[in-house]
């Protein structure tokens, strides 16, 4: 298994994908194998990468930026810029846009997704990052809060451990990098299934993605998701949902949802967003399905 992962990392160094957007559930390994961060580094160009770290979601952006700088320097990065943006006007500063011009990878750290959006949404800087990521000109990654902001509809907060209901989730507008998705992070460790279901009941035209800690949903230019890391990625597909009572009950009442499709995927598994189908990964631990 380790040999296969090592070969995959080497292949990334030689053949970076056209478009790579990495959505990380938070608490990714920064000490031992660092598989997810190493993949970001490799796909952004390896030792030739020119990286931008955006720690603006954090209340301690300097410390957060320094933490990731150290990780990427240990991997061999020599060109790292910390976009320590603490005021909204800075996102309109042409100096930052110039700094972004030659970047090959952008990494958005964790913290508070509302803070990140308040600082960067609809700024020239974020518009540039979004367009370059979609066009395949950079590798873009976001962890925790940096993952939550990826959709058009963003989970800003809410509860956990309850049955689905509209009061369980607070929704607002995200950065729209992956506009057809609603993303939740720290998924199973914080018992957020009901929260994501509540969000999907409100927006059944979107796909729900719940990502565990130290786990990444890697979006590629062919509209496929590849899972990597130690946990799982949960996909809630409402494309064939036949009923929900979301518009008929009060805010605190339980929700019913009929005919949802749910996929639980682990390392190596893939999902096709167009065909709504899952393809199991090939590994030594893969068991045939009856």
Condensed to tens digits (0 to 9), the pLDDT of residues 40-79 reads 999 999 999 999 999 999 999 999 999 999 999 999 999 9
User: Is 144 labeled as catalytic in the residue annotation?
Assistant: yes
For 202, phi then psi, to 5°, come to -75, -25
Place of tokens 């964790």: 110
User: Is 203 labeled as catalytic in the residue annotation?
Assistant: no
Q: What is the DSSP string of 164-216?
A: -BGGGEEEEE---SSTTEEEEESTTTTT-HHHHHHHHHH-TTSEEEEE-TTEE
Q: What pLDDT, on the 0 to 100 scale, is given for residue 56?
A: 97
Identify the bridge partners of residue 272 per DSSP, sorted by sequence position. 224, 277
Tell me the chain's radius of gyration from C-alpha atoms: 19
Q: What pLDDT, on the 0 to 100 scale, is given for residue 161?
A: 82
Nearest to 200 by CA among 174, 176, 224, 181: 181
Condensed to tens digits (0 to 9), the pLDDT of residues 121-174 reads 999 999 999 999 999 999 999 999 999 999 999 999 999 888 999 999 999 999
Q: What pLDDT, on the 0 to 100 scale, is given for residue 283?
A: 56
Residues 219-239 have a mean pLDDT of 94
Predicted confidence (pLDDT) at residue 217 exceeds the cutoff of 80: yes
User: Is 213 labeled as catalytic in the residue annotation?
Assistant: yes
Confidence of residue 7 (pLDDT cuts 50, 70, 90): very low
Round to whole Å and give the CA distance between 120 and 131. Answer: 14
Catalytic residue chosen out of the listed positions 28, 56, 58, 144: 144
Structural domains in the chain, sorted by start: 20-273 (3.40.50.880)
- Tokens matching residue 153: 């509809």
Predicted confidence (pLDDT) at residue 14 exceeds the cutoff of 50: no
């Amino acid at each position: 298994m380790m040999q296969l992962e090592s070969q995959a990392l080497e292949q990334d160094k030689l053949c970076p994908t056209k478009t790579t957007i990495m959505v990380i559930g938070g608490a990714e390994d920064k000490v031992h194998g660092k598989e997810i961060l190493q993949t970001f580094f490799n796909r952004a160009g390896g030792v030739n990468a020119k990286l931008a770290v955006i720690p603006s979601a954090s209340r301690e952006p300097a410390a957060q930026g320094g933490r990731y700088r150290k990780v990427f320097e240990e991997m061999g990065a020599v060109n790292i810029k910390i976009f320590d943006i603490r005021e909204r006007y800075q996102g309109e500063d042409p100096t930052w846009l110039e700094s972004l011009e030659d970047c090959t990878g952008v990494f958005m750290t964790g913290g508070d997704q509302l803070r990140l959006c308040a600082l960067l949404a609809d700024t020239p800087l974020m518009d540039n990052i979004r367009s370059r990521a979609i066009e395949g000109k950079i590798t873009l990654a976001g962890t925790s809060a940096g993952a939550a902001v990826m959709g058009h509809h963003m989970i800003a907060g809410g509860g956990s451990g309850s049955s689905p209901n509209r009061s369980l989730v607070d929704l607002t507008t995200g950065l729209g990098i992956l506009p057809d998705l609603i993303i939740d992070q720290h998924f199973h460790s914080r018992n957020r299934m009901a929260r994501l279901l509540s969000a999907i009941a409100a927006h059944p035209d979107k796909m729900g993605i719940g990502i565990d800690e130290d786990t990444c949903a890697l979006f590629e230019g062919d509209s496929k998701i590849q899972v990597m890391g130690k946990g799982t990625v949960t996909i809630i597909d409402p494309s064939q949902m036949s009923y929900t009572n979301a518009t008929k009950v009060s805010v605190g009442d339980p929700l019913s949802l009929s005919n949802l499709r749910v996929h639980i995927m682990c390392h190596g598994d893939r999902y096709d967003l167009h065909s709504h189908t899952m393809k199991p990964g090939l590994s030594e631990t893969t068991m045939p399905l009856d």
